């Protein structure tokens, strides 16, 4: 039986931690940054944890 492949788009966007949490990047920090306040761009920095219902779907796509 062949190995299951993980969803390549999801693999690039999400990361699963050792404890099983799914991390994602925050939206809105790619372009038009000169129009956004510094306070907003700082707030969008870093990773966020996925909601439990969505995390379940993402783990299925990643084969976890």
Is the per-residue pLDDT at 1 higher than 90? no
What are the pLDDT digits (tens) for 49-64? 999 999 999 999 999 8
Q: Which residues pair with 35 in a beta bridge?
A: none
Which one, of 56, 53, 60, 51, lies nearest residue 11 by Cα?
A: 60
Asked if the structure places residue 7 within a domain, the reply is no
What's the domain count of the chain?
1
The pLDDT, as a whole number, for residue 10 is 97
Range of the domain at 30: 23-59
Asked if the structure places residue 50 within a domain, the reply is yes
The pLDDT, as a whole number, for residue 59 is 96
What are the pLDDT digits (tens) for 29-49? 999 999 999 999 999 999 999
C-alpha to C-alpha distance for 64 and 60, rounded to whole angstroms: 6
Length of the chain: 64
Q: Which residues pair with 15 in a beta bridge?
A: 23
Which one, of 8, 10, 48, lies nearest residue 28 by Cα?
A: 48
């Amino acid at each position: 039986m062949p190995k299951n492949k993980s969803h390549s788009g999801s693999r690039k966007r999400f990361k699963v931690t050792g404890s099983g949490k799914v991390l994602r990047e925050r939206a809105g920090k790619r372009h038009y940054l000169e129009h956004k306040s510094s306070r907003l761009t700082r707030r969008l920095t870093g990773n966020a944890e996925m909601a439990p219902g969505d995390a379940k779907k993402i783990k299925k796509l990643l084969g976890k």
